[in-house]
A and B are shown apart, each in its own frame.
Chain A
């Protein structure tokens, strides 16, 4: 037994890479449709918040992520936008991460087209400005001053939707889909805690633990966490899409890693030197 585990521990790590690669690739070809997905309280809280707002509420959606976090946060964005457009809320989209500008525009445009939302009346995409927290501070005072033009070069003041919105506090809700900082914590610190608007959001799996304290303190209402949170939101809006499909691959990968952890520890305990002499 000990020689086997010794050999196992000395194994080239590229075999581990191969095993994980196969575990993730396999469900993309053969759909397992593993059951058990249920909306969690935090995701349900976000859904209930948007569902409960009166029709035509003004919502700011900030896409604070780049292509590196697209698989986790893009499905969240699509699901939230579908819900917002379905409820006929007015959406103003923007971003604080420069390399996510084009990607966010694509997400907003596709979701709007699907829902027959009209640019300038039902939704607007403002784009990006540098400065992180300074952008939030600037928007708090004058959104038109911060974004004199939208992402496509249209005068912000000429857009019907923006005519009624001048300051951050005039939004009924701010949603930040964030992969880190600047993100939810920046919006809370420089935005909602100072200017008192409602705040919710979604984040990557890596940041879920860090955002839990804000949810617990009531500084944000609910939280959509990672691809699983996106899948749960898709379930709530009754439109299964990318995230739900991805959960099979994530599931197999997780089980494989648990096996690796347990196997590695068993191998360690079997092969470690015994204390004391023979």
Chain B
């Protein structure tokens, strides 16, 4: 029983992990067939993994309704949303538009609810960015000053009108052939020091990800098994 609960999952992880890693370097038809097969299986399993998430959310909200916790009525709205979308989705046969171009009830509900809700959820962040600019963005040290100056240059440079004032108004286009308009300054900042810093971070993250993946495949990292025996 211990083998089935503990060792077998580690063995499955090792075999699948090794095959997926090694097939990348084997340019044969068998290798690509294996890669294709495994990826196809993964897509189907991903469907069930998504269901796992939905059932978890459903359980959290249904508990809230059962226990009549504060705000339980809002949890009922979650189920209302699911029911509406699922019913209209099946009614429309999963199609957003019919063959004649008419929008289906499923497509209509998507445009009338999901689009405005999701869009607005991220749009309100714009206001918080402005608030942070005024209340939190302080040049309290040299490093913070560098951050602030860069941010202000990028903010100004991202506006085409600033480049118009700089290039057409002040007449600054280049220095001995090196392009020096506001757009070029921002482009250099993003394409050179920013890219360099990002690359340094990428190296670190990539090496960490590779190390963690190897630890998972070789069974050193077992958090995914969960607790218990």
Contacts and interface: CB of A to CB of B under 8 A. Distances in A.
A128 to B, nearest CB: 11
Given A16-B130, A213-B195, A215-B191, A261 B152 contact: yes
A19 to B, nearest CB: 8
A72 to B, nearest CB: 10
Given A34-B161, A141-B33, A145-B36, A261 B118 contact: no
Interface in A172-209: 194, 205, 208-209
Contacts of B133: 257, 260-261, 264
Contacts of A146: 39-40, 43
A228 B195 contact: no
Contact of A213 (B158, B165, B198): B198
Contacts of A145: 36, 40
A172 to B, nearest CB: 21
B156 A258 contact: yes
B39 A68 contact: no
Interface stretch (A51-59, A75-83, A84-92, A129-137): A129-137
Interface in B53-85: none
Interface in A1-56: 9, 13, 16-17, 19-21, 24, 34-38, 40-42
B40 A138 contact: yes
Interface in B176-220: 181, 183, 187, 190-191, 194-195, 198-199, 202
Given A68-B121, A209-B198, A34 B35 contact: no
B30 to A, nearest CB: 12
The interface residues of chain A, by DSSP majority, are classed as helix
Given A36-B168, A213-B199, A261-B148, A129 B191 contact: no
Most buried by B among A140, A263, A264: A264
B141 interface: no
A99 B114 contact: yes
B124 to A, nearest CB: 9
A152 B104 CA distance: 12
Contact of A131 (B39, B156, B187): B39
Given A138-B43, A208-B190, A209-B190, A261 B134 contact: yes
Contacts of A117: none
B167 to A, nearest CB: 8
Interface residues of A, number: 73
B7 interface: no
Contacts of B131: 13, 16-17
B187 A40 contact: yes
Contact of A70 (B119, B126, B165, B187): B119
Interface in A205-256: 205, 208-210, 212-213, 215-216, 226, 228, 231, 247, 250-251, 253-256
B209 to A, nearest CB: 11
A260 B134 contact: yes
A104 B138 CA distance: 41
17 contacts: A16-B127, A21-B127, A36-B163, A67-B114, A70-B115, A70-B119, A137-B35, A138-B39, A151-B96, A153-B93, A194-B24, A208-B190, A216-B199, A247-B159, A254-B155, A264-B134, A265-B139
Interface of B: 24, 32-33, 35-36, 39-40, 42-43, 46-47, 50, 93-97, 99, 107, 110-111, 114-115, 118-119, 121-122, 126-127, 129-131, 133-140, 148, 151-152, 155-156, 158-165, 167-168, 181, 183, 187, 190-191, 194-195, 198-199, 202
